[in-house]
């Protein structure tokens, strides 16, 4: 009788049949289960690594305070927009400004072109990255309406804005919103979060 040493014995995990090596079914099942269980965790880790949308930390720009103002809605939210021609720009169709949500005070920059009655503009909540596109039409009465979309032109949200009459007050913005102070050192109060327009002096 021939005795086999440990080195001469075939491994128990694999049984050789013909020329193919066969792995027991429980190993295949364990590997498949491990792969299936780790996929959702990998997807969550990738999502966790994705940057969340940047919340605007912009403050109202005093340079835009003299631009024409429009009030109305973007979707269901009330906004005040200051939008006018770019000063000293070589492009006569160029417009720029900002809009501010009256419920939170968040300020978003906007810039683009106005050709006759058509507005095409982009907005940015940080001054660097484009966060949306605006396509609208100016009516004869000066009102502006259209849609604001994501940068890829998806998710249209309607807007409807009316020009604010000279001397009329824009809707109030929450005190302290977007970093605007409630009062200036001499006791005057900022108007609608714009610190260069003050009352009470």
CB 70 within 8 A of CB 161: yes
Task: Tell me what pLDDT residue 37 has.
Answer: 56
- Say how many domains are in the chain: 1
Residue 6 lies in a domain: no
Residue 14 corresponds to which tokens in the numbers above? 């694999």
Q: What is the pLDDT of residues 129-141, one digit of tens each?
A: 999 999 999 999 9
CA distances (Å), 156 to each of 106, 150, 180, in order? 20, 7, 30
Task: Tell me what pLDDT residue 201 has.
Answer: 41
Residue 113 corresponds to which tokens in the numbers above? 């072109």
Q: Is the pLDDT of residue 34 over 50?
A: yes
Q: What's the predicted TM-score (pTM) here?
A: 0.60
Neighbours of 111 (CB within 10 A): 17
Task: Express as a percent the part of the chain with pLDDT over 90.
Answer: 48
Beta bridge partners of 69: 82
Q: Is the pLDDT of residue 12 over 80?
A: no
Residues 6+ apart with CB under 8 A from 92: 85
Residue 46: left (phi > 0), alpha (psi -120 to 50), or beta? alpha
Answer with the residue of higher pLDDT: 179 or 35.
Answer: 35
- Which domain covers residue 103, as residue numbers? 62-171
How far is 8 from 20, CA to CA, in rounded Å? Answer: 19
Residues 6+ apart with CB under 8 A from 73: 79, 159, 160, 161
How far is 23 from 36, CA to CA, in rounded Å? Answer: 19
Query: Is 39 in a helix, a strand, or coil?
Result: helix
Residue 177 lies in a domain: no
Q: Is the pLDDT of residue 91 over 90?
A: no
Q: What is the pLDDT of residues 13-27, one digit of tens each?
A: 544 555 455 556 666
Residue 199: left (phi > 0), alpha (psi -120 to 50), or beta? beta
Residue 57 lies in a domain: no
Residue 122 lies in a domain: yes
DSSP letter for 23, please: -
CATH number for the domain spanning 78: value is 2.40.128
């Amino acid at each position: 009788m021939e005795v086999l040493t440990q080195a001469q014995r075939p491994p128990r995990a694999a049984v050789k049949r013909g020329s193919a090596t066969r792995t027991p079914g429980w190993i295949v099942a364990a590997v498949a289960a491990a792969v299936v269980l780790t996929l959702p965790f990998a997807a969550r880790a990738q999502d966790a690594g994705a940057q969340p949308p940047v919340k605007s930390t912009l403050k109202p720009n005093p340079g835009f305070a003299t631009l024409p103002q429009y009030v109305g809605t973007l979707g269901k939210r009330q906004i005040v927009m200051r939008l006018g021609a770019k000063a000293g720009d070589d492009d006569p169709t160029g417009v720029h400004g900002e809009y501010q949500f009256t419920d939170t005070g968040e300020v978003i920059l906007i810039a683009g072109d106005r050709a006759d009655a058509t507005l095409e503009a982009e907005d940015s909540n940080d001054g660097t990255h484009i966060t949306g596109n605006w396509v609208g039409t100016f009516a004869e009465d000066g009102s502006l309406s259209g849609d604001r979309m994501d940068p890829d032109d998806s998710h249209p949200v309607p807007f409807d804005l009316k020009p604010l009459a000279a001397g009329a007050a824009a809707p109030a913005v929450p005190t302290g919103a977007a970093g605007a102070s409630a009062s200036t050192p001499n006791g005057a109060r900022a108007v609608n979060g714009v610190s260069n327009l003050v009352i009470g002096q």
